[in-house]
């Protein structure tokens, strides 16, 4: 009986707010998403509350919510708006990634995961050190890039609506997206500059493949380059196909470069399967939850023995916007000595979210665990620590240093490090030949970046 009362209370009152970076989503093997079983999981989880806790806690929450909505000034448009705002506000007392998404926000999240979008080709994020919103990343070749918009640009207004009129990142994204062929005007300010500028951009249908591959030729040698966007569904299979195509190219690559720059993460199962393409281990990722430390398994696909590249040198490129599943991939490749890591320190998001679909189409994203990289005998935390590259990119703009998980005081601090942590042998000492090729790949990648920047500047 009380379970039903609690369910109604949860749906009406107790919700959570959206985090700033992409969550690691846990999904069931063989393509069965947790969302498909959410009703069962949700009711099962509620069973622990068959009897109301002492003090009538749930009834008290319901009463507090009703009183706020009845008396708050100025008066909300309606009670549903008030409860929606309460839902997002309540989540502030948890962590940045435990979140409630109403129906519209749920649709927005799913839209972001598609391989096409209707808009101008930008990713929006909450600015950390100033009020407002900023451009986090651009879709390569998108119309925003063509108009000179850059990552780090601060948004001051959208179509004459001041940015402080938008409640959250979803509202900003909705205003910028729209029907292809229509225009949106952004007033912006470049990072570290007082100068403002306006960009009037025509919306288009923009393809957003989560993986792209090409061959880089540099000083007489060839390297495979894989650029990634997110660890969404089918990521590992797409990665395997892309790498195989590069390996079978007419220009045989001497090494493989995997860029995770700006990749905010995605599925825990997909990153497990992606790691399985390149190395063998009893585990790549552990999770630490209320009951202890556990192996997460491989994921939805059968275990692949060996390495699809047959030991080809690998360079993994990261930056401060590489988060979550990206940090698992880079961290595991580093931890097990499979790749040289290059770039800047990563974001430091080391938590796992479970996504639950509510009966009316809303979503809950609940932090259920912290992930650890390695095995039960040898692991390292990532939460608020991030991945430190083997070689730092000295040319990186200082703005990268602004965006880290634990600048938000709601972020979870890492529980503890492993007692008697093993000292890791430096990559250059453990794999001297691969290290030398890694340095060559860094030069090739920097040359590629410089050429791409020149192309953008000339447009």
The residue that leads in pLDDT, 170 or 441, is 441
For the cut 80, the answer to whether the pLDDT of residue 306 exceeds it is yes
Number of domains in the chain: 2
Average pLDDT over residues 230-253: 95
Distance of alpha carbon 140 from alpha carbon 122, whole angstroms: 9
Helix (H, G, I), strand (E, B), or coil: what is residue 432? Answer: helix
pLDDT in tens, 404-440: 777 777 788 766 777 777 788 999 999 999 999 999 9
Q: What is the structure's pLDDT at 23?
A: 47
**Highest mean predicted confidence (pLDDT) among 33-37, 257-261, 363-367:** 257-261
Query: How confident is the model at residue 15, as a pLDDT?
Result: 26
Answer yes or no: do 342 and 418 share one domain.
yes
Rounded distance between C-alpha atoms, residue 420 and residue 254, angstroms: 37
Whose tokens are 């500047």? That residue is 457
pLDDT band, very low/low/confident/very high, at 84 (cuts 50, 70, 90): confident
Please answer whether residues 186 and 199 qualify as being in contact, where contact means their C-beta atoms are separated by less than 8 angstroms. Answer: yes
Q: Is residue 98 part of a domain?
A: no
Please state, rounded to an integer, the average pLDDT across all residues of the chain. Answer: 82
**Which has more confidence, 216 or 83?**
216
Closest CA to 298 of 327, 272, 265, 330: 272
Counting Cα atoms < 13 Å in the Cβ hemisphere of 61 gives 18
Comparing 315 with 89, the larger pLDDT belongs to: 315
Residues 297 and 239: beta-carbon distance below 8 Å: no
Same domain, 182 and 232: no
Q: pLDDT tens digits for 122-158?
A: 988 877 655 689 998 888 778 998 898 998 899 999 9
Mean local confidence (pLDDT), 54-79: 82
The 10 Å CB-count burial string (b at 16+, else e) for 1-23 is: eeeeebbebbebbbbbbbbbbbb
Q: Does 234 share its domain with 203?
A: no
- Residues spanned by the domain of 305: 211-456
Percent of the chain at pLDDT > 70 equals 82
Judged against a pLDDT cut of 70, whether residue 403 lies above it is answered with: no
Contact of 199 with 147, CB cutoff 8 Å: yes
Domain identity same for 136 and 242: no
The count of residues in the chain is 459
Q: Residue 109 above 90 pLDDT?
A: no
In a domain, 100, yes or no: no
Strand partners, 426: none
Q: What's the pLDDT at 27?
A: 39
**What is the chain's percent helix, strand, coil content, to nearest 5?**
35, 25, 40
- Whether residue 91 lies inside any domain: the answer is no
Question: What's the token pair of residue 8?
Answer: 């109604």
Strand partners for 183: 202
Neighbours of 108 (CB within 10 A): 18
- What is the reported pLDDT for 44? 33
Of 207, 234, 264, the domain-final residue: 207
| Stated pTM of the model | 0.76
Give, in degrees to the nearest 5, the angle at Cα 17 between 11 and 23: 110
Among positive and negative, which fits the CA dihedral 45, 51, 56, 60?
A: positive
Q: Give the number of other Cβ atoms within 10 Å of residue 395's Cβ.
A: 8
Per residue in 388-398, pLDDT (tens digit) is 999 999 865 44
Residues 185 and 218 in one domain: no
Model confidence at 4, pLDDT cuts 50, 70, 90, reads very low
pLDDT of 29 strictly over 60: no
**CATH number where 149 lies:** 2.30.42.10
Judge if 143 and 247 occupy the same domain. Answer: no
């Amino acid at each position: 009986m009380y379970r039903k009362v609690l369910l109604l209370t949860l749906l009406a009152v107790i919700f959570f707010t959206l985090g700033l970076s992409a969550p690691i989503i846990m999904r069931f093997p063989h393509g069965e998403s947790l969302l498909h079983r959410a009703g069962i999981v949700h009711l099962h989880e509620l069973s622990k509350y068959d009897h109301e806790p002492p003090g009538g806690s749930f009834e008290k929450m319901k009463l507090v919510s009703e009183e706020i909505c009845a008396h708050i000034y100025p008066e909300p448009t309606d009670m549903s708006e008030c409860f929606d705002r309460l839902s997002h506000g309540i989540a502030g007392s948890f962590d940045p990634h435990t979140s409630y998404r109403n129906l519209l926000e749920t649709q927005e999240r799913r839209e972001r995961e598609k391989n096409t979008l209707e808009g101008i080709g930008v990713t929006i994020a909450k600015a950390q050190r100033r009020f407002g919103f900023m451009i986090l990343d651009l879709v390569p070749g998108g119309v925003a890039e063509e108009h000179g918009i850059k990552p780090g640009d601060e948004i001051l207004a959208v179509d004459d609506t001041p940015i402080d009129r938008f409640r959250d990142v979803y509202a900003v994204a909705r205003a910028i997206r729209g029907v292809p062929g229509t225009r949106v005007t952004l007033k912006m300010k470049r990072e570290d500059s007082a100068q403002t500028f306006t960009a009037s951009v025509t919306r288009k249908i923009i393809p957003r493949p989560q993986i792209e591959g090409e061959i880089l030729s540099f000083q007489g040698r060839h390297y495979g380059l894989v650029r990634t966007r997110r660890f969404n569904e089918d990521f590992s299979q797409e990665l395997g196909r892309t790498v195989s195509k590069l390996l079978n190219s007419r220009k045989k690559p001497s090494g493989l470069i995997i860029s995770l720059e700006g990749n905010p993460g995605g599925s825990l199962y997909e990153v497990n399967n992606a790691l399985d393409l390149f190395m063998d281990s009893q585990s790549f990722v552990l999770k630490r939850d209320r009951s202890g430390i556990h192996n997460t398994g491989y994921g939805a696909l059968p275990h692949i023995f060996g390495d699809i590249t047959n030991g080809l040198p690998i360079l993994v490129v990261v930056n401060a916007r590489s988060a979550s599943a990206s940090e698992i991939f880079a961290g595991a490749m580093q931890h097990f000595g499979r790749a040289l890591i290059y770039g800047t320190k990563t974001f430091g998001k080391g938590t796992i979210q479970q996504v639950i679909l509510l009966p009316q189409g809303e979503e809950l994203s609940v932090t259920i665990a912290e992930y650890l990289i390695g095995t039960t005998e040898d692991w390292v935390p990532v939460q608020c620590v991030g991945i430190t590259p083997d070689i730092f990119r000295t040319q990186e703009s200082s703005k990268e240093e602004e965006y880290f998980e634990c600048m938000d005081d709601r972020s979870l601090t890492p529980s503890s490090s492993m007692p008697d942590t093993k000292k890791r042998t430096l990559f250059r000492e453990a794999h001297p030949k691969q290290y030398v090729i890694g340095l060559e790949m860094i030069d090739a990648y920097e040359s590629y970046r410089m050429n791409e920047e020149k192309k953008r500047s000339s447009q």
